Structure 1
Amino acid sequence: MKVYSKQTVQHVNATLEECWAFFSSPRNLQKITPETMGFQITDFDEKNMYAGQIIQYKVSPLLGIKLPWVTEITFVKENSYFIDEQRFGPYVLWHHKHFFETTQNGVKMTDLVHYALPLGFIGRIMNTLIVKNKLKEIFEYREKKVNELFNAK
């Protein structure tokens, strides 16, 4: 199994508390996800993130085909980081770490995703042709939306 990684860093013009309040609320995920993903939360307990929380979604990453995706928030350190892991969905492995650090100008937000695809050699080809570009597109969209929400002040 080939494991890939994707890291992004973004500076946010907000306090650590403002940044944490926004990103630790599953309600805000749809605001920073491209509409083309067909992202829809189908079940969660309406609480801010906590270790053990299960969130269920539907996503349409390709050709409008709706897929179920279930993640668990596995670790949370308030105002510092949280980790979500796929429990059911399109990846063999999805481990996403979100870090928040205070800087002189606001907050440095770092995302680090490790992921693996099914189907061996075919999965590696799919990553090269589609998946890594789709993830790049998703994170670029997120950067744009975060800039609109926090950095356009």
Structure 2
Amino acid sequence: MKVYQLKQTQVLPITLQQAWEFFATPRNLEKITPSHLKFTILSVSGSEKMYAGQIIRYKIQLLPFIKVNWTTEITHLQELSYFIDEQRFGPYALWHHQHHFKEVPGGVEMTDEVHYAIPLGFIGRFANWLFVKRTLHRIFEYRLAILGKHFPTDKNSILKSA
């Protein structure tokens, strides 16, 4: 199984507490996901405040007329520092998404690091080359833009993948 990586770093001109409150609220994911994906949160276990062990169920449109259910679990969380969500059921063979937060001069550096794998062997690798990698990059570029508008900054944002 081939594992791919996508890493993005962005500096936001807000406090660490403000960053944590926004990103550790599962319902805010809808605000930073492109509308063409028709992303809908179906359920959030426990409270609206994120915690390790929390299960979040979504529905997302991957391709025209193809909607899939996706279930993730918040597997690790250290308040004001990081949280990790992992796919339990969904379109990927592997989805491990780390969200890190660090105070820096002028705000908070937020880093997303995703490790993912596509099922179906060669067909999955071809699909990643053909459109999955590009689609994920577009989603994260959209997030950069939306977060830049929501939390305006003069600092540069970086999007890179490995």
Fold-level similarity (TM above 0.5): yes
Look up the equivalent residue of 2:3 and give its one-letter code: V
Task: Tell whether 2:29 aligns with 1:11.
Answer: no
Give TM-score, length-normalised by structure 1.
0.97
Task: Tell whether 2:102 aligns with 1:101.
Answer: yes
User: Whole-Å Cα distance in 2 between the matches of residues 142 and 48 of structure 1?
Assistant: 21
User: Whole-Å Cα distance in 2 between the matches of residues 49 and 101 of structure 1?
Assistant: 18
Residue by residue over 1:52-93, the C-alpha shift from the partner in whole angstroms, topping out at 9 and shown as x without a partner, is 000000000211311000000000000000000000000000
Alignment of 1:4-153 (within 5 A): 4-45=4-45, 46-151=47-152
Q: CA deviation at 1:49?
A: 0.9
Residue 158 of structure 2 aligns with which residue? none
User: Whole-Å Cα distance in 2 between the matches of residues 83 and 102 of structure 1?
Assistant: 19
Secondary structure, aligned partner of 1:2: coil
Q: CA deviation at 1:141?
A: 0.5
Residue 159 of structure 2 aligns with which residue? none
Question: What is the total number of aligned residue pairs between the two structures?
Answer: 153
Decide whether the 8 Å contact of 1:36 with 1:61 is kept in 2.
no
User: Whole-Å Cα distance in 2 between the matches of residues 130 and 146 of structure 1?
Assistant: 24
User: Whole-Å Cα distance in 2 between the matches of residues 19 and 115 of structure 1?
Assistant: 25
Higher relative contact order (CA 8 A, sep 6+): 2
Secondary structure, aligned partner of 1:22: helix
Decide whether the 8 Å contact of 1:11 with 1:106 is kept in 2.
yes
Give TM-score, length-normalised by structure 2.
0.92
Residue by residue over 1:33-68, the C-alpha shift from the partner in whole angstroms, topping out at 9 and shown as x without a partner, is 000111000011342110000000000021131100
Decide whether the 8 Å contact of 1:19 with 1:107 is kept in 2.
yes
Poorly superposed stretches of 4+, deviation over 2 Å: none
User: Whole-Å Cα distance in 2 between the matches of residues 86 and 40 of structure 1?
Assistant: 16
User: Whole-Å Cα distance in 1 between the matches of residues 142 and 49 of structure 2?
Assistant: 23
Secondary structure, aligned partner of 2:66: coil
Decide whether the 8 Å contact of 1:38 with 1:60 is kept in 2.
yes
Structure 1 vs Structure 2 CA RMSD: 1.1
